[in-house]
Amino acid sequence: MRVGLIVDSACDLPYEFARKHDIFILPVTAVIDGETYIDEHDPVRTQEFYQSGLLKKGRHAETQAYTTEQIYDLFMKEIVPRFDIAICETVARSRSLIYQNATEAMNRVMASYQEARAVSGREGKFSMRVIDSKQIFAGQGLLAAHTLRLAEQRLSKNALRNEVEAFSDRIYTCVIPRDLHYIRERARRRGDKSVSGMAAFLGKALNITPVIFGQGAGGAPVARTRRFEAAAEQVMDYAAARVEAGLLTPYVSLSCGMSWTEIEDLPGLNRLRNACERNGVELLLSQMGITSSIYVGPGSLCLALAAEPHSFSDHQ
């Protein structure tokens, strides 16, 4: 019985990791200055976006979920003929229509998959589940990696779903936005007032960079620094300390909306790498995808790990 994992383009994972494990990417449409692009997590295309400056501030950029019809067509063409059980983990439903549209598409698939299975020569029934990851970006990537580990245990489909949903609540995420004004404008267009005008003004006037920390897609500022590099080092030190203390899954997921040269120069990254190596933890380091970068702003950083309840300051 073959189990397939589907994630959307808001999920940040290293390209080689996703390819090795045959993870299917559900695309997201990006609209930048009126031009439409399809984000399929192609590493070459993503690098071109960073080099071309298409993701820089000053451009009007939005993301759009694939429609129910588009997702249905993809599921019928790419998923039904290849897998017996499919799990689709979407970005937090509070942040996007992807979960809603994927669920509607799944319901249509379950009512009409038999012919597609017969044509492909794949025998037996097909089962599918759409799960709200409750995560964003690197958090989604962490949940996907853990789901693959659970799938290796050959759990029943219901047990697998329950384990994934329960584990999602154990994931902690740190986000460092490069530009609070960018986030505020994006949030304003969505009707999200979580980033106030005063916070954005202070961030611009005083060069304050916050660390936003919490479980899942929620979070609150837990540290404020005058430089992005100082905030990044705090997050690396936090993650290294949690690795030493013990994680609930042997992964740390880190995505960065910058060039690979800038990523490798991040302060504290090598200390985190060393801590992971000492403790048998895989660092899932990736360049932030187009969808993620549009959402939180170019130059930003997102880190996720799963651990027992704690606060960001516990490592200090």
Domain extent, residue 279, equals 171-315
pLDDT tens-digit readout, 84-126: 999 999 999 988 899 999 999 999 999 999 988 988 888 889 9
Report the sign of the C-alpha dihedral through residues 156, 162, 165, 170, in that order: negative
CA angle 304, 309, 314 (to 5 degrees): 80
* Global confidence as pTM: 0.92
Instruction: State percent of the chain over pLDDT 90.
Output: 59
* 194 and 286 co-located in one domain: yes
Q: How confident is the model at residue 186 (pLDDT cuts 50, 70, 90)?
A: low
Is 303 in contact with 235 (CB distance < 8 Å)? yes
Say if residue 9 is in the same domain as residue 158: yes
Predicted pLDDT at 198: 53
16 lies in the same domain as 141? yes
Could you tell me if 111 and 188 lie in one domain?
Answer: no
Find out whether 145 and 251 touch, Cβ atoms under 8 Å.
Answer: yes
Q: Provide the pLDDT for residue 271.
A: 98
- 282 shares its domain with 221: yes
d(CA 90, CA 118): 28
61 and 192, same structural domain?
Answer: no
Based on the domain organization, do 176 and 149 belong to the same domain?
no
Are 223 and 242 found together in one domain? yes
CA distance 276 to 280: 6
Q: What are the backbone dihedrals phi and psi of residue 184, each rounded to the nearest 5 degrees, phi first?
A: -65, -45
CB proximity list for 149: less than 8 A, separation 6 or greater: 249
> Is residue 194 pLDDT above 60, yes or no?
no
Q: In three state form, how does the secondary structure of 124-136 look?
A: CCCEEEEEECCCC
Residue 97's CATH number: 3.40.50.10170
Tokens of 304: 């996720």
Residues 80, 67: contact at Cβ < 8 Å? Answer: no
Q: Percentage helix, strand, coil, to 5, in the chain?
A: 45, 25, 30
Query: What is the distance between the alpha carbons of residues 237 and 233, in angstroms, rounded to a whole number?
Result: 6
Question: Mean pLDDT in the chain?
Answer: 89
Of the residues 137, 168, 199, which one is the last residue of a structural domain? 168
Q: For residue 250, report the phi and psi dihedrals to the nearest 5 degrees.
A: -80, 50
Distance of CA 123 to the CA centre of its chain: 33
Alpha carbons 15 and 141: distance in angstroms, whole number: 11
Is the separation of the CB atoms in 243 and 276 below 8 Å? yes
Query: What are the counts of helices (DSSP H) followed by strands (DSSP E) for the chain?
Result: 13, 13
Amino acid, single-letter form, for residue 94: S
- 153 and 236 fall within a common domain: no
Among 151, 168, 185, the domain boundary falls at: 168
Q: Same domain, yes or no, for 182 and 279?
A: yes
CATH number for the domain spanning 221: value is 3.30.1180.10
The count of structural domains within the chain is 2
Least confident of 36-40, 178-182, 195-199: 195-199
Question: What is d(CA 206, CA 262) in angstroms, rounded to the nearest whole number?
Answer: 23
Neighbours of 241 (CB within 10 A): 15
Confidence of residue 51 (pLDDT cuts 50, 70, 90): confident
Grouping H, G, I as helix, E, B as strand and the rest as coil, residue 141 is helix
- What are the tens digits of pLDDT across the range 296-310? 888 899 999 999 999
Mean pLDDT of 45-67: 78
Last residue of a domain, one of 168, 187, 220: 168
The residue that leads in pLDDT, 51 or 205, is 51
